[in-house]
Structure 1
Amino acid sequence: MPPKRKSNAIEADASAGEDAEQVVKKPRVSDAPEASGSKDKKAKQAAEPKDWHDIVLEGEGEDGGVSVYDDCNDIRRKIRLLQKQPNWKVTAWLKEIGNINSNSFQRFMKATGPTGGASNGTYYAAYVYFEKVRIAEGKKKTAKRERSEAEHREGLPLQDRRGVWVYTGP
């Protein structure tokens, strides 16, 4: 018959536990080889994320600008992931990435397709932001990104291709 009171149940468990052996957890031990002091400092510096503001991309500040290799759908997906973070505010982010107008941002987010919104300033500014953050965090390029770099050596065109007519000739 089980005890009627919680205190009686605790006393019964304590008396039963005295007979059983105590299980002691062992601390985890890493299998990785230990690095020397100078290499350890370099590894820590590489592991610590830098501030994305400090990173300068190739072509930034020049006439041609930074070559864009992620399509609009990728950028919209990354923005939606950002929006799910707690305490993240759209207006503060838009100001931080280049003083982007909120109406421009809304038009870009409502556009569809891989080139929908490519001529919008939000696309370029957000791409530059995400590229800097990727470099700051030390993340690798995705397979899709590497394919895009191989196919479009100068970067993707910054114009919506849906309204473009192609004339193939007679």
Structure 2
Amino acid sequence: MAPKRKFDVLDPEILDVLADNGDASTSATAAPAPPAKKARASGASEASSSKRKKAKEVVQPKNWTEIILEGEGESDGVPVYDDCNEIRRKIRLLRKTSDWKVTHWLKDIGNVNSNSYNRFMKATGPTGGASNGVYYAAYVYFEKVRIAEGKKKTAKRLRNEDEYPSGIPLEDRRRVWVFGPA
């Protein structure tokens, strides 16, 4: 039968030493006592706990409503650098989060009408719905959230900044007439 505890098993070297002394019969039944544990020094535990507290302190993101973007409140407004498809993708991701309601979000981003939201979400293409108010309001919201969370700009966003220095035009290019030489 196997022993139930670690200290029930004697080390073979100890048995050899005890056998040389002639005391093997008594030592086989008695187990060696486990070593006593030392108490921690109070200074070391305080220093390590303060390091753990500093590591656990995560910078809480700001509230997105407190952030003011460059150009916000001016006649030109905030330059937009994400296309409509990107904004629709972000909205779809946002819809998947729990306890998120479209109507509350539309009210928070600028009291946008739900019919406008539905028209924007049904539109297709990178400029489909660019003239819709939801596009601009949602872009401003997502930009503020990105800044509040401290996230970096995407590669596509950086390309759009280079291509459109004053921002993407807020017009649906499929509905624009282009006249050229005959």
Measured against the shorter chain, the TM-score band is: 0.7 to 0.9
After the TM superposition, which residues 113-124 of structure 1 pair with which residues of structure 2 at under 5 Å, given as runs? Answer: 113-124=125-136
Structure 1 residue aligned with 2:137: 125
Structure 2 residue aligned with 1:12: none
Query: What residue identity is the alignment partner of 1:18?
Result: R
Structure 2 residue aligned with 1:81: 93
After the TM superposition, which residues 27-46 of structure 1 pair with which residues of structure 2 at under 5 Å, given as runs? Answer: none
Aligned residue for 2:92, secondary structure, equals helix
Structure 2 residue aligned with 1:158: 170
Query: What residue identity is the alignment partner of 2:149?
Result: E
Structure 2 residue aligned with 1:67: 79
What stretches of structure 2 of length at least 5 have no aligned partner?
A: 8-50
Structure 2 residue 97 is the aligned partner of structure 1 residue 95:
no
Deviation at 1:48, TM superposition (A): 2.0
**Residue deviations 1:99-125 (CA, integer Å, cap 9, x gap):** 000000000000000000000000000
Identity of aligned residues (%): 68
Structure 2 residue aligned with 1:18: 5
Structure 2 residue aligned with 1:138: 150
Deviation at 1:153, TM superposition (A): 0.4
Runs of 4+ in 1 over 3 A off after TM superposition: 15-20
**Partners in 2 of 1:165 and 1:126 — Cα distance?**
27
**Partners in 1 of 2:4 and 2:137 — Cα distance?**
63
What stretches of structure 1 of length at least 5 have no aligned partner?
A: 1-14, 21-36
**Partners in 2 of 1:68 and 1:120 — Cα distance?**
13
**Partners in 1 of 2:89 and 2:159 — Cα distance?**
18
- Taking structure 1 as the reference length, the TM-score comes to 0.74
CA 1:19/1:49 → structure 2, altered by over 3 Å: closer, same or farther? same
Deviation at 1:167, TM superposition (A): 2.2
**Partners in 1 of 2:79 and 2:115 — Cα distance?**
25
**Partners in 1 of 2:4 and 2:67 — Cα distance?**
59
Query: What residue identity is the alignment partner of 1:132?
Result: K
**Partners in 2 of 1:131 and 1:51 — Cα distance?**
12
Structure 2 residue aligned with 1:148: 160
Deviation at 1:164, TM superposition (A): 1.3
Aligned residue for 1:125, secondary structure, equals helix
Say what the alpha-carbon RMSD is for the aligned residues: 2.3
Deviation at 1:165, TM superposition (A): 2.2
Deviation at 1:142, TM superposition (A): 0.1
Aligned residue for 1:153, secondary structure, equals coil
- Report the count of equivalent residues: 135
- For residue 65 of structure 2, the aligned residue among 53, 73, 78 is 53
**Partners in 1 of 2:165 and 2:94 — Cα distance?**
28
